[in-house]
Structure 1
Amino acid sequence: MTRIIESLDQVAADYDVLFCDLWGCVHNGQRFYPAATDALVRYRQGGGRVALMTNAPRPAALVQAQIDRMGVPRAAWDVIVTSGDAAQDAMLSGRIGQDVWHLGPDKDTGFFTETADPRATAIRRVDLERAQGIVATGPFDEMVDVPEDYRARLEAALARGLPMLCANPDLVVDLGETRIYCAGAIAQLYAEMGGEVLYFGKPHAPIYDLARRRLDSHAARELAIGDGIGTDIAGAVAQGIDSLFVTGGLAADHLGGDVERPDPARLADWTRAQGIVPTLAIGRLR
């Protein structure tokens, strides 16, 4: 049975480390939520440590620059860990070959360029026809495109047996009031077609391992916070750690009219239908 709480303070003393999602919990892609950052600051002042853990397909330095521009206080977090970090290491290790086709917007080119790793010089971005593998960071035009727009190109990739490295397992996010597709939705379509997809963000283990290394927190009591039932919460379940489901994010329409206070009966029914039951729930992180 999921326990609904009103504030992170109610459970803060029970955990040493938070793995906190960014988009939908700390910001909406355009502005940050002061109540959420205040809660994280208080948690750290009490001795806890915070890893901002995001499925953004960009290295942590670029995500930090983004949240700095939004005004997210540095006192709210200790480290940033991204799906892009974990996926970039896999690409540099040669998991999908050296000649790769980038399926994603221009803003994600930092995935290839933001690294001091000497292995990066061996990676070449090429057209699909010459590629050994695919790096998917999102639609080319995330405000317009849907996964089906890519079916013909995915069929061509499938015919050649190209593996896809998905740098962002999220299916959708809300950019302000607009819901947009992510790389995970394109990767899901490719997998359904029979393609090989490699994932490194939530809910998969590599991003959690990377966060623990950066925090040096392998024996800590951990709590994962997020609004993605199939990423943030499923990842926590797979890791065997507690979870705090932010119901006022992606699932808000399913859980009652007040995003700040989820309806307990709807929450129980909806999570049961998903087959994933969070430890805790809160309307908005605060």
Structure 2
Amino acid sequence: MNTFIGYDVTNLEMIADHYEAYIIDLWGVIYNGHQVYDSAKDVLRNLVSRGKTIHLITNNPRTSRENARILSGLGLTPDYYSDIISAGQKTLDLLRSGILMPERQRPLSTYLIDDIGLCDWIDDANLKIVPDVHTAEMILSIHMDETLYTPTPFIPLFESAIQLGIPHICCNPDKYVMKNNVKMARVGVLADLYRALGGTVFEIGKPHPVMFEDIMNLHKQESILLIGDSLVTDITAAHYIGVDSLLVTSGYHQEEFRSASRLNSQRLFKNYGVCPTYVCEYLSW
């Protein structure tokens, strides 16, 4: 992989036969949270017809089954992909198996940050939600007010929790996502704040390799292409697990790429410290 190059491709068909397995980010590549992109759906259709394995991956805190249900409602049924790996499902699996917080007895007293009720797997994870952080054994962050561009209102809560030695589990390392061309906050900013204040944080999701363990056990590294719209989570993840990557520039980094010349694009990659193998504006066939 050439450092800070990122070869331009106009469509995936140009390189499709170089790979047997695809790890494809959902938000910003396949859909925008409300509708599936027609061009991306066409890509999935063509990959399936060529016998490729497609792993959809997302930092969404819902379970894989719930993500599949939502996608089916948008017209993307399971015949378009092999499986879905979500941050929510991975967090549930790690809690349920005892790999996460193994020293604590269940049910775990949990202070939940989830302003819109996305977390539907509390009972499955054997958690007991408590209203006061002083009685909690951990903080679990799922979703926050999207319009809150500074997490400072959480400082008093977090300082109290840190004094008690309470760890913070962040079930979505994303800091922001693009929603209707507007940046919306995600709980990754809370994880950063908690860490900056001196607290212990466990982040479950991209770019952390734990999200890819099952996939990497199925395929050779050189047979995999990871497709995403974020240098921070997707392309960094590809670097961590040693696979080629394709950056879709119309998603998370759209503002940065909109005015960027080719030279400035290379500077952008250098600033982030990672570079994709390939670059395209939209995922299309």
- Note whether the superposition's TM-score is higher than 0.5: yes
- Identify the residue that residue 241 of structure 1 maps to in structure 2: 243
The structure with the greater share of residues assigned to helix is: 1
Question: How many pairs does the alignment contain?
Answer: 273
Q: Give the CA deviation at 1:106.
A: 3.5
2:109 paired residue among 64, 77, 99: 99
1:2 paired residue among 6, 16, 30: 6
Answering whether residue 256 of structure 2 is matched by residue 284 of structure 1, we say: no
SS at match of 2:62: coil
Correspondences of 1:215-234 after superposition (within 5 Å): 216-217=218-219, 221-234=223-236
- Identify the residue that residue 255 of structure 1 maps to in structure 2: 257
TM-score (norm 1): 0.89
Distance 2:242 2:276 in 1: 11
1:131 paired residue among 136, 140, 151: 136
1:173 paired residue among 172, 177, 187: 177
- Identify the residue that residue 24 of structure 2 maps to in structure 1: 20
Distance 2:8 2:278 in 1: 6
2:160 paired residue among 156, 162, 166: 156
Q: Are the equivalent residues in 2 in contact too, given 1:21–1:53 (CA < 8 A)?
A: yes
Deviates more, 1:127-136 or 1:92-101: 92-101
1:39 paired residue among 39, 43, 64: 43
- Identify the residue that residue 266 of structure 2 maps to in structure 1: 268
Q: Give the CA deviation at 1:145.
A: 6.4
Q: Give the CA deviation at 1:267.
A: 1.7
What do residues 96-117 of structure 1 show as CA deviations (whole Å, max 9, x unaligned)?
441111112343221324x4xx
Residue type of the alignment partner of 1:285: L
SS at match of 1:43: helix
Q: Give the CA deviation at 1:85.
A: 1.4
Q: Give the CA deviation at 1:180.
A: 1.1
SS at match of 1:111: coil
Q: Are the equivalent residues in 1 in contact too, given 2:61–2:119 (CA < 8 A)?
A: no
Structure 1 residues 263 and 111, CA, compared in 2 at 3 Å: closer, same or farther?
A: farther
Answering whether residue 220 of structure 2 is matched by residue 210 of structure 1, we say: no
1:51 paired residue among 49, 55, 60: 55
1:71 paired residue among 70, 75, 98: 75
Deviates more, 1:145-154 or 1:172-181: 145-154
SS at match of 1:137: strand
Distance 2:9 2:246 in 1: 9
Over the residues paired in the alignment, what is the CA RMSD in angstroms? 1.8
Unaligned runs of 5+ in 2: none
Unaligned runs of 5+ in 1: none
Q: Give the CA deviation at 1:143.
A: 4.0
Distance 1:160 1:94 in 2: 22
Distance 2:41 2:150 in 1: 32
Q: Are the equivalent residues in 1 in contact too, given 2:68–2:78 (CA < 8 A)?
A: no
Q: Are the equivalent residues in 1 in contact too, given 2:221–2:243 (CA < 8 A)?
A: no
Distance 2:185 2:40 in 1: 25
Q: Give the CA deviation at 1:63.
A: 0.9
Distance 1:162 1:90 in 2: 18
